[in-house]
Structure 1
Amino acid sequence: MNALKLTVLCYLAATVALAGDKQPELVTQEATGEAAIVDNNRDKAFQDAKNAALREAVEQVVGVLVSSTTLTANNQLISDRILSRSDGYVRKYDVLEKQEDKGVVRVKVRAQVGTAQLDRDLQAVRALIDRLAGGRLLIVLQEQSAGPDKVITQTNVLSQILAETFQKDGWRIIDPAFAAGKLEVSSGVSLLTPEKKVIQDLRSADYIITGTVTMRHEPPNAAFPLSGYYPVTGEFELKVFATDSGTQIAHLSDGFNSQGVSVSVSYERTAHSIAKTRGQKIVDEVRKAVVNHLSSSEQNGKAVVVTVLGLADYASVGEFKKLLAQAVTGLRDVKQGDFVKGKATFDAFFVGTTDDFAEALSKKTYKGKKVSVTGVTGNTVEITLAK
């Protein structure tokens, strides 16, 4: 994806000032795109160049609607959510010029871009940006490095790189030594949602990255001298959990080697360079997963495991499910789980926090019994019915 251009933003600064609070329904914008001719397929090159020009036109209109600070700080998010479907905002266009030079087709268009839907979609992106700002992240990785002599040492190379990169991206990194609650991720308590995990009482972080990283210091190849060459290979496997629902929102794994980085100083420097290169890609993937999670939570609600103690019989389970649906505003759906010896579990999908959920129930009664909230974590609510 092309980065959003600062030059375009500067050019449009005057337009932003004149635009005022209300934008015209259509904005006419000229833009140019280009594409290489592959396998002598000029028609495809023309289509690709035209699409690139239309995308550029929409991109410039986005620059009118959004501040330069928002664009430069969140260009990947806007590219993914807006510019990836830019053709949906173009109401009409004319091809002004078509040129071919040294295997490249260049197309200039004049496009009419509709601002109503574009602005609505940008508002949604702004809301996501606001929710991403200051997100609290806990990074708990098991990293080890194996030297040529087979000695294993514990390291934190990728952890440090990820922490630094996420901080630059606006995240707040939680020190594992000060994180409240348990760091281990236990299995889910409901058979209905086996992919869901219960993060035990961990409320200091919004998201957790856990996993393993292995780096191996390889011996020099016979084609290279024994000194001055420090190749490193390895692999990582990372999982990202949202603590508000215990849901695994990303699973990243890959191998790596020294290709593209300097290997002439030390094994440690090679490992650092590899981690830095991969770190930015990991940040992008995690950020994308978080955005998708937030979007899904807004539409469908986040998962909350509700445990109810003190129900008399199985018929009471269905009746209490109806109480949940009536009493909790923002409840998208609730599914009945296990019922054993007066203890029932439900999977609720709720727009809001578990504190909001608990507050909505704490003042209710069920068959004359007070509904007491006796436990709340980031993604669980425990309810005890008074005798």
Structure 2
Amino acid sequence: MPQNGRNILLLALMLLLACASIVSRAHAEEVTSTGIAPYDPGREAVAREKALHDARRNAVEATSGGIIDASTTVRNNMLVSDNILSRAAGYVSEYTVLSERKSNGLYEVTIRANVLVDSMRDDANTIRRLVALQQTPHVIIKIASETPAENRTQARRAASLLADKLKKSGLTVVDKPLTGTELELNLALEQASTPATVLGVQMMVNEISLVTDIVRPSDGRTLASSTETVKVNGLNKLQALEKGTKECVQKTWKRLARALSRSWEEEMESARTLYVTVLGLDSKANAETLAGAFRSSVPNVETAALQSMQEGEARFTLRYKGQPRFFTDEISMRYFRNRYGEFAVTSVRDNVITLTRQ
């Protein structure tokens, strides 16, 4: 190759390396941090690991200022920050121990760590969305099947009135599932009319009942119920139904808003069993490692056990505190992918989840 050609090739390689270095620095920030942990004689190895964990967490905390969102409340920013720090190990790509010492019952380690700031920022946005979702009940209002056909038009009007009032109270009302976490509010409107004579005057006593059930869609379980009944006198049954419906909505909506908020909070925090199938694992050892990753790295996983492994298909049972959707969001976050690889969410149906190793 001519000299000029070699020089051009050399220059191109140098530029490529320089660009790679710039990209690397853009994605990782170098931080020096110190961690400490108490130790007992003979248990220095355990103390050292705890001190290293503390140092990595402190390195992540030192670079976490960029995840603060000015449009988010102080409380929610603190929640996001705490959630990021609880996942700190997933944001340190590598570290070097600079010094370590024991003094006055403490083990101290100083490290130089590369913190994946972009990963942290991406996950902060996901966590911010999940925090907001957990705090705001999401509801779908449906007309119950037992509502008589002649009452359905008025029942839809009742649903619209109720939706407006629930929205004003801070709840989110949607027409169809958007997040997979919504509660259903099933609404039935009933009318019973009885002829009566009052002071010699013929009239009709109309008893209007608005029955609402808060239902978990995944299994159809009723979480709370409410019935409001009013009486309206009048010969015009349609006018009586309209008036009685408005009175029922007015009397019941605040109680319903409180019940929905309580049910939502319980659903967000309740523990449930998840049945997770992971395709594409090449060994039982890798499946056992993944079970350990679920237990140690994913917040709110209380237990995780490998049930079977056959032909690359691993089946796990997990005890998880939260919605199935939140678990799939967790394993899609960068902190988990950085440590354990990519997993595509193939399907989520109730508490049954299928993932595929990429």
Tell me the TM-score range normalised by the shorter chain: 0.3 to 0.5
Which of 1 and 2 has greater Rg? 2
1 or 2, which has the higher helix percentage? 2
Give the TM-score of the pair, scaled to structure 1: 0.42
